[in-house]
């Protein structure tokens, strides 16, 4: 069974956490959801982002999401792919050196990496997007370009693939990013 490491944190976007976690398991992958400073059985609070015609998304409380692996116990060599959730968590997760090391590990080994919405902030902070084309939530475009990446403007329900990297702008792209990530996993 192929194993996926799913990075999440408090206020990860609910649909960008729950849907990939459950869908990838339903497809037969083993998925370990982790968060720095948390253990298996601990929970994170998710946030629901919705598009209601305002200039940006609204944010509402989501669910408690139970992690199933202790962050300190992960062994990167056990995983075939990395899924980075979006929401507000990436803005603080990218400050964690081990998170950046994880991003480098998967990108340097050319293993499948999926990042949705603001999850791309982890890749930009890790300096892993130089020379790559990718998409993200539109507000992350300046970070992508400042990190040397080429921003691809897509509808929210689409995904973009560049080599081992698949990205999507927001949770409406869950189906597309999961489909393309599964293709990369083989």
Residue showing tokens 């869908």: 23
Could you give the CA distance from residue 87 to residue 82 in angstroms, rounded to a whole number? Answer: 17
Tokens for 125? 């902070």
Task: Indicate which residues carry an active-site annotation.
Answer: 118
Whole-Å CA distances, 32 to 9, 70, 99, 133, 145? 13, 9, 15, 27, 31
Find, among 125, 108, 97, 112, the residue nearest to 166 by Cα.
112
């Amino acid at each position: 069974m192929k194993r996926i490491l799913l990075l999440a944190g408090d206020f990860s976007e609910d649909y960008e956490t729950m849907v990939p976690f459950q869908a990838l398991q339903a497809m037969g992958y083993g998925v370990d959801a982790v968060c720095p400073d948390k253990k298996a059985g601990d929970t994170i609070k998710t946030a629901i982002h919705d598009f209601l015609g305002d200039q940006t998304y609204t944010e509402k409380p989501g669910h408690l999401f139970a992690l199933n692996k202790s962050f300190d116990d992960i062994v990167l060599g056990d995983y075939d792919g990395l899924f980075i959730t979006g929401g507000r968590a990436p803005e603080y997760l990218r400050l964690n050196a081990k998170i950046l090391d994880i991003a480098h590990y998967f990108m340097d080994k050319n293993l499948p990496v999926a990042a949705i919405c603001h999850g791309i902030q982890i890749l930009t902070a890790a300096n892993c997007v130089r020379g790559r084309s990718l998409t993200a939530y539109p507000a992350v475009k300046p970070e992508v370009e400042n990190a040397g990446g080429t921003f691809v403007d897509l509808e929210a329900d689409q995904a973009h693939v560049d080599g081992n990297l698949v990205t999507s702008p927001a949770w409406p792209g869950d189906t597309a990013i999961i489909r393309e990530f599964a293709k990369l996993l083989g």
